Structure 1
Amino acid sequence: MTIDPELLLNFPIPDISQRVTPRDVAFYALSVGMAQDPTDPRQLDFVDQHRQLHALPWMALVLGHPGFWLTDPRIGVDAVRLVHGEQALEQHLPLPVEGEIVGRTRVTGLVDKGAGRGALLYMEKQVLDAASGALYATARSTTFLRGDGGFGGPTGPVRRPPPVPGGPPDFVVELPTRPEQALFYRLNGDDNPLHADPAVAAAAGFERPILHGLCTLGVVAHALLRTLGDYDATRFRELQLRFTAPVLPGETIRTEIWRDGSFRARVAERNVMIVNHGLARFAGAGASP
């Protein structure tokens, strides 16, 4: 297959309307590992519908999800080999715990890295209130199309990530994942079989199904919320990161954080870097371990 760049850049991704319920909010938080410490009431605020429930800001990444539309054979993408490369999220308003939202996704760029080197696909999704049109969040992502370079498309511009800080981190937070976590997380709407089917994972070059990149982001963002936001989700403003290696469900994610909001993360058991070039911003000063 060969990419049809004109079709890909102008692909008509439909708007997705979605009803958000308190159950959805609680399930998402549980699916990214929140409240594994049931004695911490700050974490219970994101999962217990009998408390004053709060939505995690990065739930915006799964709301109004347009589905795995890159499998459309007209586009020509090798959908088995694609991976999530980068993700950014900006929160404009706190997400509702209950209400109707619309997810509006569009392709914003395509970069041909050359034959054998793959391609970069840039996308943006806005999450809006269905009634008023108010903008809750803007998500920007880079998908690495590993099997699709050399189609004669544009060679730039390529987004530059934030710099990696020097010196040791100011805080280190370790959070576990669960062996079945990808199976829970995919119920949020991302049903790519790479995260569930061992045969598909093997065909993509992995020893077994891997954790969704956005689930990894959820675990890392939890560490940031604990350290930089004191579990106050209203203080979150934005984050960006680059995925560098996959997590196997059941591994421990160690997030290294600097006071200026820079961060990176690695799998503790294998000492493999999984997230790099991270930068987060929370309103207010100070951080806590």
Structure 2
Amino acid sequence: MPLDPDVLMSMQIDPVRRRYDWRDSALYALGLGYGADPVDAAQLRYVQEHDQQAMPTMVNVLGHDGSWMKRPETGIDYSKVVHGEQAMQIHAPLPVAGDIIAQTHIEEVVDKGDGKGALVTARREISDAETGAPYATVWLTIFCRGAGGFGGSLAASRQPHPQPEGAPDHSAAVETRPEQALIYRLSGDYNMLHADPETAQKAGFDRPILHGLATFGIACRALMDRYCAADGARVRGLEGRFSAPVYPGEAITIDMWAQGRGQAAFGARVGDRDVLRNGRFDFSE
């Protein structure tokens, strides 16, 4: 069954309600490597309950429900889905504990051509379940391999942030731990690709890989350290394109370019292997 853009664009996706507490916020931060230095106050603020902050990239896992990708009427072959891009816009700092409603809408379907693929972008609005106050808007773009040729739009409305040329203004290396994917998955992404060696090998990987959203969060962590004095309340937005996997235990280097007031471009790599490109970070000065 071919991908059906009309079904996707008209799809009604039920809202997700999620209650979380300080332990969920701490567990998410541990999955990004916070706490590796047990006397670093800038790290401890995200992993223990004294004057705790919620890591802003936690909005990417709160209220996520990817079951719409598996609905047979969409024509999506879930075995050929790749996480292509991620973006978030923060409207208000996320509380350490709370009760949220997440509403997902399919925003766009792009035809990359016959025999190539298709891009499907979903937008998720996250708000307080009691007051309706908005916390964040999250965009998830998946690449459906081999699903193009249905005659849809050829160009995406959301264009990637230009990747700067030349040497970065600053680079920061963040070590990941061998068990980091096993910790990160406890925040809600239980895909066995990140935990089971046999599943990973069947997918073409030597061993389980780190979640793309963990790489995304680690990049935000390094950018916050550089531009926000590690204060998550100053983060306004983050976006980027995934270009290669990371294996737990590898060091991720985040390259940064300042681009005027409240904005920086970035990329992430493991050695010479790009893992995240076309990054943009928006923050409050």
Whether TM-score is above 0.5 comes out as: yes
| Structure 2, unpaired ranges of 5+ | none
Q: Distance in 1 between matches of 2:42 and 2:93?
A: 17
SS in 2 for 1:80: helix
TM-score of the superposed pair, with normalisation by structure 1: 0.92
Which residue does 1:127 correspond to in 2?
Answer: 126
| Structure 1, unpaired ranges of 5+ | 285-289
Q: Does 1:22 align with 2:9?
A: no
- AA aligned to 2:280 is L
Q: Distance in 1 between matches of 2:150 and 2:206?
A: 29
- AA aligned to 1:214 is L
Q: 1:199 to 1:80 in 2, by over 3 A?
A: farther
Shift of 1:37: 1.4
Percent pairwise identity: 46
After TM superposition, the structure 1 = structure 2 runs for residues 242-261 of structure 1, keeping only pairs within 5 Å, are 242-260=241-259, 261=264
Shift of 1:178: 1.8
- AA aligned to 1:183 is L
Shift of 1:207: 3.0
- AA aligned to 1:222 is R
Which residue does 2:46 correspond to in 1?
Answer: 46
Shift of 1:9: 2.0
Q: Distance in 2 between matches of 1:122 and 1:210?
A: 23
Q: Decide which moves more: 98-107 or 8-17.
A: 8-17
Which residue does 2:59 correspond to in 1?
Answer: 60
- CA RMSD in angstroms comes to 1.6
Q: Distance in 2 between matches of 1:205 and 1:186?
A: 20
SS in 2 for 1:225: helix
Q: Distance in 2 between matches of 1:234 and 1:96?
A: 10
Q: Does 1:265 align with 2:268?
A: yes
- AA aligned to 2:282 is R
After TM superposition, the structure 1 = structure 2 runs for residues 169-248 of structure 1, keeping only pairs within 5 Å, are 169-248=168-247
Q: State whether residues 82 and 146 of structure 1, in contact with CA within 8 Å, keep that contact through their aligned partners in structure 2.
A: yes
Shift of 1:201: 3.0
Shift of 1:220: 0.8
After TM superposition, the structure 1 = structure 2 runs for residues 54-93 of structure 1, keeping only pairs within 5 Å, are 54-93=53-92
Shift of 1:158: 4.8
Q: Distance in 2 between matches of 1:166 and 1:71?
A: 39
Q: Distance in 2 between matches of 1:119 and 1:202?
A: 25
Q: State whether residues 45 and 54 of structure 1, in contact with CA within 8 Å, keep that contact through their aligned partners in structure 2.
A: yes
Give the aligned length.
281
Which residue does 1:10 correspond to in 2?
Answer: 10
- AA aligned to 1:55 is A
Q: Decide which moves more: 189-198 or 78-87.
A: 189-198
- AA aligned to 2:283 is F
Which residue does 1:287 correspond to in 2?
Answer: none
Q: Distance in 1 between matches of 2:129 and 2:137?
A: 15
Shift of 1:149: 2.1
Q: Distance in 2 between matches of 1:258 and 1:193?
A: 35
Q: Deviations over 1:170-191 (max 9, x none)?
A: 1111001122222221221122
Shift of 1:194: 2.6
TM-score of the superposed pair, with normalisation by structure 2: 0.93
Q: State whether residues 80 and 203 of structure 1, in contact with CA within 8 Å, keep that contact through their aligned partners in structure 2.
A: no
Q: Distance in 2 between matches of 1:22 and 1:212?
A: 22
Q: 1:43 to 1:191 in 2, by over 3 A?
A: same
Moved segments of 4+, more than 6 Å: none
